[in-house]
Structure 1
Amino acid sequence: MLDLLVLRYPDVMTVARRNERRWWLLFLAVCLLAGVVMFLLRRRMSPESVLSFLIFGGVLFATAVQPRFGVYAILGLTLFGDRSLHPWYPFTKNLSSRESIMFVSDSFSLSPQEITIVWTLVVWLVRAATERRLRIHFGPLFWPAAIFLVFNAIGLVYGLANGGNRVIALWEVRSIFYLPLMLLLAGNLIENRAQLNTLFWIATIALFAKGVAGVWYVHDVLKWDLEGVERIAEHAMSIHFNFFFVLLIAAWLYRDSAARRFSMMLMAPFVLFSLVANFRRAGFLTLGIAVGLIVLLLYIENRRLFYIIAPTGTIAMAAYLVVFWNNQGPLGILARAIRSVIGQPSARDAASNIYRDLENINIMFTIRQAPLTGIGFGNKFYIVVPMPDISVFEWWEYITHNSIMWVWMKIGVIGFYALILLLAITMLYGARMVRLMPRGQMRVFALTATLYIFTHFVYAYVDMSWENGSMVFVGTMMGVINALPQIAAGKPAPIWPWRVFTPPPNEPRT
């Protein structure tokens, strides 16, 4: 009987051999992991280091079993990391970073984050080849992102050819490469609503954990004294928290699951406290813009609710500004941010504004010297107007706060237009997905992803925003937007024409 079945369906033995090879590969991976552990123990690494390598090995193993686990791990582990809150955290740091608990060698300049991105990409493509399934969905966003990436690569080569510092040039550009890679991975490996829901839960939990870490930092290090504290974490933490609050508002607006709505309400105080303690004016203002856009969308979709929420919110905001306009404590941070924008900043905020104004003058002068090609990565921008000393930031002569015009300054006008094209297509397509997705969870995801990208690049106009964590987050959200039509429609993966035949389910297999 088995011989007849093999003759009739020759792919049965092929599938069996393929499964056998897969299990052998997994066995070899376990042996390799065991060998790495023995090597670490022989080097007498600390228990924390050994545990970190074990967890990292587990991430790579899980990704080998199911590539989408790599996307989950990359996003979650990246969002939790912060150089200020936990400088020992290893995932986003090179294995040559001595403060990382996964330090290996001074010459090992890759990070676990980069290794995981490449590993996930390789595993996905190898599985597509061995299973003879072509599941590559480029969508409308990948090619604009790829074009932008090409101009960044040209800017790297041009900068090095013109005497740019190689180390600084690579640090400037390396995180930008994460964006199209994460767009491609998230847009292809997240295939259905359950997986998309899991991805958003992972991002939510990672941000909540960072919020808790911020509260603990204020308690343990600052002893609850925020007087004179400029920030408690990296600048990007504030813009990442915008995702949390937009998701929370959208979940209530479109009646997402009760589990998400009520659990996020319990998490929100920790995230809000850390957001306030980080004192980023741009973070508050971009969050306000996102809320304003949600209210505008409410006017289009639900006029009755709009006429309840909009007047109430306006009155509440006006009352807050009246009470806290001159407040210098944590509760007055939002009022101070608004006051700073309309021309009445505090001494600290005024100094920050002046620095950015002087920096923008130098950016524009540099752009005028090489408008077509830019100065390339690894080269200092021209300083024709002296700026206050911020040499504590070692790359202050290379990287500017205005991250949008910085692109033009580095890679020229055509590369700058490539960025504008990418952002324009992303916003147009994201807005279209918000309108086309069915009300409920899918529209929550579409709205949150689109508004996060929008607020990120509004924030980028006034603060540094091309670091690795933000590029992973932005690329993942672009991938989500790219994949939404396929996920909503539940379309199966396309198949290569030469894929082996699979017996129908009603045929005997033994």
Structure 2
Amino acid sequence: MTYAPDRPPYLRFVALLGFLVLATVGGAAIHPVVAIAPVLAVAVVWLVTKVPVRYPVMAVTYLVLAVDYVPERPQSGFWPSPLFPLGELMFAQLSYITKIGALRFPLVDVLIVGLLGLAIYRRVTKSPIDPPTLPMPRPLVGVVALSLIAILFMEVRGVLRGGDVKNSLWQWHQAAMMPFIVAMFHYALRGPQDWPLFARTVIAAGLTKSAVSVYFGAVVVPSMGVFVEYTTCHSDSMTFNFALLVATMRFLETPKSAHAVRGLVLILLIFLGMMYNDRRLAYVSFVGCLLAGYLITPWPALKRTFTRSMVLMAPLVVVYFAVGWNSHSGAFAPVHKVRTLIDGEGGEGNLDYRDIENLDVIATWTQFPLLGTGYGHEFLEPIPLPNIAFVFPQYRYHPHNSLLGLFAFGGMLGYTGVWMYLVVTVYLAVRSYHRSNVNEYRAAALIIVGSVICYINQVFGDMGIISYICTFITSLCVVGSGKLAVATGAWPMPSTTLVHGAPTAPVPPPGAIVYPNEDDVPARAKQA
């Protein structure tokens, strides 16, 4: 029997290259971004067959946080950055890009579901590509699932009451994707040892957005001669604050000169982006993060001395605010910023748009206090609002204050069901902080608590509940909190797990240090 000789490898390479060239040219005729689809397809095949899932998850996380977030009109709609085409590809409905009407969902959804499916497939087939991962505490898994159940209940209730299905889907879409993003991160993070990798990914995205913010604010805006309200988008405040938390909390837990230098450089670069983006909520959130860290951390002599000093200085602070409240001097700039938060855009004693909208949403909630209206319904307008339908036709389906919107659409039961996972996340993070002797783990716990505070502020002030940026960072923190809790003994290691290959071990005592991998054990611990 004779066999035909194999084709030389270079012929297969030439054939593949020719196919990619032809497919790229054809894709360019549809949309410029579609031209890169063939290359992406080849890259996907390589990732599926060779690469641990945590690396493509990191890449998707970076893209979600770094490219132009087109749903929020990046750069106030005046200037598309070089990352705008990728942002359009990630977040615009695929029906808009491909002209196929049935594809009424963004590419980011496909990536989330695809990576989650890949991870599950590898677990089921016992693939050695991905190592075992630490399990998540079952109560945390339960409340994450409860969030999705509560959202679906609110959808069904709203539709049964005659709600608009088309508009309802975009009231809860990103929040309903949260459990799937959490599952994706669960399979991507082996344990707390992978937290620094993902933290650096978020920092890289924050630096990217800061560079875009500074360039647009310092170069493009003056050349255009226009006024802009923001230079990237509202949700970037959460990315910026995450980076600031890494810089401050890591130094707080490990006060080394290297951490101080790197932290100061990072703070400077991120603050430049925040300054041009001009979101007051970003500064309020960061102050809240610092306050949370102050309350959680132990009370050594230095902290007690600082606290006593602040108590003694309180009268001077009151005088400073009293004098600067009506002053226009630059010396009282912090007072002016605080006053704008209290007075709003309407000025002292006047209601601005947000005030009226909040009152209307509260009035809607009072009509349906327990179960809410359900999704698919507009909030009521007992106090008429200016009609902004010419720029935002669905404005009554999406109140700026998403927190109050949850009360209006879901009532007490819906609100509690959707947000219970945040309470459990903070609880586990704080328990992990006080039961860990590893500085990196303690810093991660503080970052997680601060990020949850930022998320709540974004939901309260800037429709954060329908932002993929906010949802991705919060989901990462949920998984980080769960794995920290198991690794530090803040929550018992489950004796069995639904995931094949997940490690099982006796419950470590409080304060014990658990190293999921041998490579993570410090040299001095091995010697001991």
Deviates most, 313-322 or 465-474: 313-322
**Match of residue 3 from structure 1:** none
Deviates most, 378-387 or 456-465: 456-465
* Partner of residue 99 from structure 2, selected from 84, 91, 105: 105
Q: 1:55 Cα shift?
A: 5.0
Q: What amino acid is aligned across from residue 66 of structure 1 in structure 2?
A: P
Q: What amino acid is aligned across from residue 358 of structure 1 in structure 2?
A: I
Q: Does 1:484 align with 2:487?
A: no
Distance of 2:202 and 2:499 partners within structure 1? 37
- Whether contact under 8 Å (2:158, 2:376) holds in the other structure is yes
Question: Cα deviation per residue 1:70-118 (whole Å; 9 max; x = unaligned)?
Answer: 32123211111333144432353135375xxxx3225222322111110
Q: 1:468 Cα shift?
A: 1.7
Distance 1:136 1:246, change over 3 A: closer
Q: 1:395 Cα shift?
A: 2.2
SS in 2 for 1:223: helix
**Match of residue 116 from structure 1:** 111
- Whether contact under 8 Å (2:192, 2:483) holds in the other structure is no
**Match of residue 76 from structure 1:** 62
Q: What amino acid is aligned across from residue 28 of structure 2 in structure 1?
A: R
- Whether contact under 8 Å (1:256, 1:441) holds in the other structure is no
Q: 1:371 Cα shift?
A: 2.9
**Match of residue 169 from structure 2:** 170
* Partner of residue 360 from structure 2, selected from 339, 359, 362: 362
- Whether contact under 8 Å (1:92, 1:113) holds in the other structure is yes
Distance 1:461 1:429, change over 3 A: same
* Partner of residue 122 from structure 2, selected from 95, 108, 127: 127
TM-score by length of 1: 0.78
Q: Does 1:374 align with 2:372?
A: yes
Q: 1:271 Cα shift?
A: 1.6
- Whether contact under 8 Å (1:72, 1:202) holds in the other structure is yes
Distance of 1:480 and 1:72 partners within structure 2? 14
Distance of 2:495 and 2:392 partners within structure 1? 47
Q: 1:363 Cα shift?
A: 1.1
Distance of 2:304 and 2:223 partners within structure 1? 38
Distance of 1:158 and 1:34 partners within structure 2? 54
Distance of 1:237 and 1:226 partners within structure 2? 24
Distance of 1:254 and 1:367 partners within structure 2? 43
Q: How many residues are matched? A: 462
Distance of 1:382 and 1:397 partners within structure 2? 8
Distance 1:165 1:347, change over 3 A: closer
The correspondence of residues 200-239 of structure 1 with structure 2, limited to 5 A, is 200-223=199-222, 229-239=228-238
Q: What amino acid is aligned across from residue 123 of structure 2 in structure 1?
A: A
Which ranges in structure 2 are unaligned for 5 or more consecutive residues?
1-11, 76-80, 502-528
Q: 1:413 Cα shift?
A: 2.5
Q: What amino acid is aligned across from residue 124 of structure 1 in structure 2?
A: A
SS in 2 for 1:222: helix
Distance of 1:352 and 1:69 partners within structure 2? 51
Deviates most, 466-475 or 35-44: 35-44
**Match of residue 25 from structure 2:** 41
Distance 1:346 1:399, change over 3 A: closer
Distance 1:320 1:435, change over 3 A: farther
Q: 1:37 Cα shift?
A: 6.5
Distance of 2:198 and 2:107 partners within structure 1? 20
Q: 1:150 Cα shift?
A: 0.6
Q: What amino acid is aligned across from residue 39 of structure 1 in structure 2?
A: A
Distance of 1:323 and 1:457 partners within structure 2? 30
Of all paired residues, the percent bearing the same amino acid is 18
- Whether contact under 8 Å (1:367, 1:408) holds in the other structure is yes
**Match of residue 53 from structure 2:** 67
Distance of 1:309 and 1:163 partners within structure 2? 56
Q: 1:232 Cα shift?
A: 2.0
- Whether contact under 8 Å (2:288, 2:453) holds in the other structure is no
Q: What amino acid is aligned across from residue 291 of structure 2 in structure 1?
A: G
- Whether contact under 8 Å (1:373, 1:412) holds in the other structure is yes
Deviates most, 215-224 or 332-341: 332-341
**Match of residue 50 from structure 1:** 35
Q: What amino acid is aligned across from residue 471 of structure 2 in structure 1?
A: M
The correspondence of residues 346-495 of structure 1 with structure 2, limited to 5 A, is 347=345, 354-391=352-389, 392-466=391-465, 467-488=467-488
- Whether contact under 8 Å (1:358, 1:387) holds in the other structure is yes
Distance of 2:487 and 2:16 partners within structure 1? 36
SS in 1 for 2:91: coil
Q: What amino acid is aligned across from residue 71 of structure 1 in structure 2?
A: V
SS in 1 for 2:221: coil
SS in 2 for 1:397: coil
Distance of 1:320 and 1:302 partners within structure 2? 29
Distance 1:413 1:142, change over 3 A: same
The correspondence of residues 195-344 of structure 1 with structure 2, limited to 5 A, is 195-223=194-222, 229-255=228-254, 261-298=260-297, 300-305=298-303, 307-308=305-306, 311=309, 326=327, 334-341=334-341, 343=342
Distance of 2:359 and 2:325 partners within structure 1? 34
Q: 1:199 Cα shift?
A: 0.8
Distance of 2:478 and 2:41 partners within structure 1? 26
SS in 2 for 1:90: helix
Q: What amino acid is aligned across from residue 171 of structure 2 in structure 1?
A: E
Question: Cα deviation per residue 1:121-175 (whole Å; 9 max; x = unaligned)?
Answer: 1111111111189868341322112112111012223333433333321111110
